[in-house]
Structure 1
Amino acid sequence: MSAQEGKAHDVRNLSEQAYDLVRRDILNGELFPNDKIQVDVLSSRYGIGSVPLREALNRLSSEGLVERKSHRGFFVTAISMANLEELVKTRIWLETLALRESMANGDEAWEEALVVSCHRLTRTHRRLPAEAGREAAEEWEERHKEFHLLLLSRCESSWLLNFCSTMMDQAVRYRNLSMNTNPSRARREGAAAEHQALLDAVLEHDPERACDLLADHYRTTLSGLRHVIPDEREDVIGLAAKSAN
């Protein structure tokens, strides 16, 4: 490898690191919706240069987590109740389709993997970073996404799975902002029961009930977020003030 190729390889590696770090902080609500992203501040925070950081921000812009405004720089993409409602509606459309196809193609190995995944999720207590540190808080999100993606994994469409995965990541922002402003133990416990009921319906080979339970699971989460997510008439500053208190 030439020196020039080695330098380009290092930049790509740093860009990947920057992407992971910025994405994590956006999903965890540490970089707040509508916040202007100060490249020099993040460069100092992560110990990564501005060039790989800008590459990471451009990539996150294509995924909808960052918005690039002409002559103004990068901003964390705004949120609203209207956007969340659209996200939930689209998730229900696509994920129930994927779940139905996945159940039609599923086998014993897939069902056993689901049982293990749900068990791991149940044993992973959902905690806020302030309660248990960032790594413990992130573990639940990883287990949660693993379970939900596994439910859809036999749909035989990589396009559909990629769309569903992207929407899951978008939903994490809303859940974590809600948890940071108004943590609810009851909702955490309710979600665990919903996951178990969904697993039971899959194991009983009842796609109608499984799809209904999945849709209800997302609608319940949506309902619980209505009092903390701004609608189209509200400014996200109000939510930021709640988070700061």
Structure 2
Amino acid sequence: MNISALSDPATSQSSATQIAHSKLRELILTGELAPGTKLKIDHLRKILGTGASPIREALSLLTSDQLVVRHEQRGFSAAATSSEDFAEILRLRCSLEGMALRQSMENKTDEWIESLVIIHHRMSRLQQSRSDDFEREHKNFHMALIGNCDSPLLLRFCNQLYDLNIRYRFIAGRSIDYKGRKVDDEHRIILDAVVAGDIDRAEDLLRSHYETTGAFLKAYIK
């Protein structure tokens, strides 16, 4: 480690901004900062235990993620939610992730397949144990499915859409009644189609997976 960097004000400011950005992002995604909530700097300073400048910079960064709205002369607020917004996110996810999955499978390698199998196994184990780490591994699995597409911009859009979608699921609540739906089985058959190299089936299964989840969430979105 470069010791001189520890006393560099610019480095310290950047680190504080990154920490504030990460914490605020989590609070908004999980609904702890509810949609439409006015994000007052003084209040956020107490929550995060950091200065006003890193918070302002973090809020500005979150506007590009569509999680925060800047109001001219009136500060910031957490982005609102709506059934129309959710429907658009769902359509875009199905379209863009379907495209990315096809490209990933066309670039199929043994290393990529092995990585997918390992991530799926780890995710399934965490789901069965009801671990708090499941959500992190769930995202890792979905991003790994499309991560072999050699299109950084497409992956960036897909990553952003995943977060916008997961926000709705957190807001709806973790205890949604899926009426006997076996989500782990859905993940497994998607993986099986990818391993088998059946591009059309894999894309159809991924789209169905998202649309089925979307149908459950719609009842909780206002």
Same fold (TM over 0.5): yes
Greater displacement, 70-79 / 14-23: 70-79
Alignment match of 2:106 (pick from 92, 96, 104) = 104
Partner of 1:39: 41
State, as a whole percentage, how many aligned pairs show the same letter.
Answer: 37
**Secondary structure of the residue that 2:38 maps to in structure 1?**
coil
Shift of 1:184: 2.8
Q: Is 2:103 the counterpart of 1:89?
A: no
Measure the CA separation in 2 of the matches of 1:113 and 1:72.
47
Which structure 1 residue ranges, 4+ long, deviate > 6 Å from structure 2?
A: none
Distance 1:47 1:126, change over 3 A: farther
Instruction: Please give the TM-score of this superposition, normalised by the length of structure 1.
Output: 0.84
Instruction: Please give the TM-score of this superposition, normalised by the length of structure 2.
Output: 0.93
Instruction: Check conservation: 1:126, 1:140, Cα contact below 8 A.
Output: no
Q: Once the two structures are superposed, what CA deviation does each residue of 1:63-97 show, in whole Å capped at 9, x if it has no partner?
A: 11000111221100001111111111011111111
Shift of 1:185: 5.8
- How many residues of Structure 1 are paired with residues of Structure 2 in the alignment? 219
Measure the CA separation in 1 of the matches of 2:172 and 2:195.
32
Alignment of 1:46-85 (within 5 A): 46-85=48-87
Partner of 2:135: 141
CA RMSD in angstroms comes to 1.9
Partner of 2:173: 179
Instruction: Check conservation: 2:178, 2:216, Cα contact below 8 A.
Output: no
Measure the CA separation in 1 of the matches of 2:206 and 2:94.
8
Alignment match of 2:194 (pick from 191, 202, 206) = 202
Q: Once the two structures are superposed, what CA deviation does each residue of 1:11-31 show, in whole Å capped at 9, x if it has no partner?
A: 111001000000011111111
Partner of 1:215: 207
Partner of 1:19: 21
Q: Is 2:183 the counterpart of 1:191?
A: yes
Shift of 1:175: 1.0
Measure the CA separation in 1 of the matches of 2:4 and 2:100.
46
**Secondary structure of the residue that 1:48 maps to in structure 2?**
coil
Measure the CA separation in 1 of the matches of 2:191 and 2:153.
24
